[in-house]
A and B are shown apart, each in its own frame.
Chain A
Amino acid sequence: DTAVSQTPKYLVTQMGNDKSIKCEQNLGHDTMYWYKQDSKKFLKIMFSYNNKELIINETVPNRFSPKSPDKAHLNLHINSLELGDSAVYFCASSRLLLGYEQYFGPGTRLTVT
């Protein structure tokens, strides 16, 4: 059984389009995250949700909007895609308490042309 899944794994789209990436975890965790990995492999937190509430919102363009319909899901919607949005986006989940490890999804490689 997949612990943290993301769909799609690959996404190629044109500038100006709107797209969504979905994330689901079946680990019973209370916290979910979105990270962005750029072309130089640098990973940076974008958002974090705990029990469906936003707790971390780093400096990210407001074209990016996370949505958490329930504790097991955290989706990322991106409006008006730009070339610079091309990256790998990782979803992760954890239990917030006690600094437990974060379990990562397989990543979604987004290519904007």
Chain B
Amino acid sequence: AQTVTQSQPEMSVQEAETVTLSCTYDTSENNYYLFWYKQPPSRQMILVIRQEAYKQQNATENRFSVNFQKAAKSFSLKISDSQLGDTAMYFCAFMKHGNYGGSQGNLIFGKGTKLSVKP
């Protein structure tokens, strides 16, 4: 069974600074997908970034980037130039790769990291 671990229950960062959220996972699969989702106080789940395990290049989305270390089973999220609107719970998630290029569908989530951006 796959598991996802986020070892930092809470973190804080000053506005405009950089913060890194940690995520490790355990799987015997070789092909899979990894995601970071953001959940602000509004409760809405929003995809931040997605990484395919077969791609060596780290995914980036504007101020968000990941450090994907497949051998170490590590998938950290770096937020640059933190903004007040980045205050949220951040969830790391794993999705198993399925047949015919598909997926097994369900996301396996870590317990989340609560990030506070301070002015």
Whether the Cβ atoms of A50 and B105 lie closer than 8 Å is: yes
Digitize B99-112: 1 where CB-to-A-CB distance is under 8 Å, 0 elsewhere: 01111111111011
* Number of residues from A at the complex interface, CB < 8 A: 30
Q: In the docked arrangement, what's the CA distance between A56 and B95, Å?
A: 13
B43 touches A94 (CB 8 A): no
Q: Of residues 41 to 69 in A, which have CB atoms within 8 Å of B's CB atoms?
A: 41-45, 48, 50, 55-56, 58
Chain B residues with Cβ under 8 A from A48's Cβ? 105-106
- Does B78 sit within 8 A of A, measured CB to CB? no
B112 touching A107 by the CB < 8 A rule?
Answer: no
The reply to whether A106 and B44 contact each other, CB–CB distance below 8 Å, is yes
Determine if A106 and B103 form an interchain contact, defined as CB atoms under 8 angstroms apart. Answer: no
**Nearest chain B CB to A68's CB is how many angstroms away?**
14
A101 to B99, CA, bound (A): 17
Q: Does A112 count as interface, using CB distance less than 8 angstroms? A: no
When C-beta atoms are compared, the residue in chain A nearest to B37 turns out to be A104
In Å, the complex CA distance between A13 and B112 comes to 28
CB–CB A106/B43 < 8 A: yes
Contacting pair A99 B33 (CB below 8 A) = yes
User: In terms of DSSP, what is the predominant structure of the interface of chain B?
Assistant: strand
Cα A103 to Cα B65 in complex, Å, equals 20
Q: Contact at A97–B50, with CB atoms within 8 Å?
A: no
**Interface residues in A28-46 (C-beta closer than 8 Å to B):** 31, 33, 35, 40-45
| B 63-77 contacts with A by CB, 8 A | none
Q: How far is the CA of A96 from the CA of B40 in the complex (A)?
A: 26
Shortest distance from the beta carbon of A110 to any chain B beta carbon, whole Å: 13
Given known A-B contacts A48-B105, A104-B45, A97 and B100 have beta carbons under 8 A apart: yes
Residue of B33, B102, B104, B106 with most partner-chain A CB within 10 A:
B106
Q: In the complex, which residues 84-109 of chain A have their Cβ closer than 8 Å to any Cβ of chain B?
A: 88, 90, 92, 94, 96-104, 106-107, 109
**Residue in A40, A43, A101 whose beta carbon sits within 8 Å of that of B50 in the complex:** A101
**Is B105 touching A33 in the complex (CB atoms < 8 A)?**
yes
Find out whether the CB atom of A99 lies under 8 angstroms from the CB atom of B43: no
